[in-house]
Structure 1
Amino acid sequence: MVLFPHAKINIGLYITKKRKDGFHDLETCFFPVPWTDVLEITPSEGEFTFSSSGLDIAGVIEDNLCYKAYELLRKDHQMPPVHIHLHKIIPMGAGLGGGSSDAAFTLMGLRDLFQLPLTNEDLQPYAAKLGSDCAFFLSNQAAFGKGKGDKLSSIEASLKGKFLVLLYPAVGISTAEAYAGVTPAKAPVDLRKAILKADWKEAISNDFEKSIFPHYPVLASLKEEMYTLGASYAAMSGSGSTIFGIFDKKIDPPARWADYTVWSGWVEKD
């Protein structure tokens, strides 16, 4: 079985509260992006095995989210060992949710491969144990997120017909560093309402940009460059460091971006 775990971007992200468990409450809108990894799951003999190609995946197997997804399901449902091969394309630590997507698609792939009596809604508690945004990837549609990003509700918003450009400049920003510069506060806008209006540029922002951009001015420059190229909206995704632009027409990424990782493409173009 071959699956294609996709990336996400955040349009609007507000850190509203520091929680007693050390996490933060937030408000954001998740949008799926057709930049994908390639995940293959096949039954195997003996024991669970994992291999990868593409981008290097560091760490031990016990920390791998695909392995954790398999182990979570195996505790509750009888499954034979499997071999998982992941061709990693989505940059890691880039604010694109690639690891969470791989985990969610592993849950769905195992469910389908072994015909487990589970809906995507049934898989949500497993996804929640794997990552705060993992449950989002169980459904390929926009969602409004609250809590840690795990309390999801549907929203009638879409990027269909838009041309996206995602630019990852390989600037490393840890989650701890990103949150260290943020002061939680009530969101300045009703994001659910604002996302349904046309003018996102003036109304919607990402709280992380205020603290991260002064330390990484290249990110602020790349955001402004997206607007110079004609983007209707541009921002950093999640806690970074990917900068994305939303365009009404196709653009060719400038040659000066050659040292960066760039993905571009239409979203559901007719």
Structure 2
Amino acid sequence: MLVFPNAKINIGLNIVEKRSDGFHNIESCFYPVGWTDALEVTDSGELLFESDGIAIPGNNSDNLCLKAYKMLSDDYQLAPVKLHLLKSIPVGAGLGGGSSDAAFTIKALNQYFNLHISFEKQLEYARRLGSDCAFFILNEPAYCFEKGDHFEDIDLSLKGKRIVMVNPGIHISTIEAYAGVVAKPGESDLRNALKLPVSEWKFQVKNDFEATLFRKYPLLEELKTKIYECGAEYASMSGSGSTIFGIFDQEINLRSHFKPFMVWQGFLK
């Protein structure tokens, strides 16, 4: 079985408060995009995890795909499989690639073994693995709150808009990103702001991580400025990572503008 875990962008990200458990409550709009990894599940005499493509930090035993398998196997006594991941979504980039890999592992194993796990139970499993994981079970535009693992429907469609995503290869860990922020309620209601035309988001829809991370990594602010200069209706850093994206009203090819960085571009759905 072959599945393609996709990335997401954050459209707005307010860090609302620090929780008693050490995490933070946020509010954001998560929107799926077409930048994908590839995950293959095949029969195997023993449990194996392999990866190619972009190097994944840490040991294979810590990989979220493997943790997802072991979590389901505790409840369903799964036969061993080989999980092979082709990693294309950059790591530490604010795109949720690792979370997506984990969520798609849950969904793939559910189908592969005909487990008939309910949608709600899949969400529960995903929340155990990480704050962003549950979104990828849903994998539709959503207003996200608490740790980013609870959702409400949002009336937002960017279908037909063009997105350009630029990753300069700077790895920003979640710990590093949160170290410089002060939690506070958003200045405006994000859901109301996203009802405005995309061209007006620039003045209303903010990512709280930008203030400190742009000072530490000036290149990120330079990339955002350049994307606007190329005609973006809206540009922002995604999540707590180093990817800067721009939303355009027309088809555009910016690969030559951002050499030698990783660039993904395509239409939003």
Q: Normalization by structure 2: what TM-score? A: 0.96
**Per-residue CA distance 1:68-125 (angstroms, 9 max, x = gap):** 0001101111310010110110001100000000000000000000110212222011
What value does the CA root-mean-square deviation take over the aligned residues? 1.1
Distance 1:83 1:120 in 2: 24
Q: Is the 8 A contact 2:255 2:263 kept in 1?
A: no
Distance 1:73 1:144 in 2: 28
> Equivalent residue for 2:160?
161
Q: Is the 8 A contact 2:39 2:101 kept in 1?
A: yes
Distance 1:265 1:33 in 2: 8
Q: Is the 8 A contact 1:160 1:267 kept in 2?
A: yes
Q: Kindly state the Cα deviation for residue 156 of structure 1 after the two structures are TM-superposed.
A: 1.4
Q: Kindly state the Cα deviation for residue 254 of structure 1 after the two structures are TM-superposed.
A: 4.9
> Equivalent residue for 2:242?
241
Distance 2:77 2:88 in 1: 31
**Per-residue CA distance 1:3-48 (angstroms, 9 max, x = gap):** 0000000000001101111111111000000110000011211x21
| Structure 1 unaligned blocks of 5 or more | none
> Equivalent residue for 2:98?
99
> Equivalent residue for 1:177?
176
> Equivalent residue for 2:70?
71
| Structure 2 unaligned blocks of 5 or more | none
Q: Is the 8 A contact 2:13 2:27 kept in 1?
A: yes
Distance 2:246 2:267 in 1: 12
Distance 2:242 2:124 in 1: 28
> Equivalent residue for 1:258?
259
Secondary structure in 2 matching 1:31:
strand
> Equivalent residue for 1:223?
224
**Alpha-carbon distance change, 126 to 202 in structure 1, aligned in 2, over 3 angstroms:** same
Distance 1:117 1:256 in 2: 47
Secondary structure in 2 matching 1:205:
coil
> Equivalent residue for 2:12?
12
Q: Is the 8 A contact 1:172 1:241 kept in 2?
A: yes
Identity of aligned residues (%): 52
Distance 1:2 1:13 in 2: 32
Q: Normalization by structure 1: what TM-score? A: 0.96
One-letter amino acid of the structure 2 residue matched with residue 127 of structure 1: A
The 4+ residue runs of structure 1 with deviation greater than 3 A are none
Distance 1:201 1:176 in 2: 27
Distance 2:100 2:37 in 1: 9
**Per-residue CA distance 1:127-184 (angstroms, 9 max, x = gap):** 0011101000012210111111011111111221010000000122222221111111
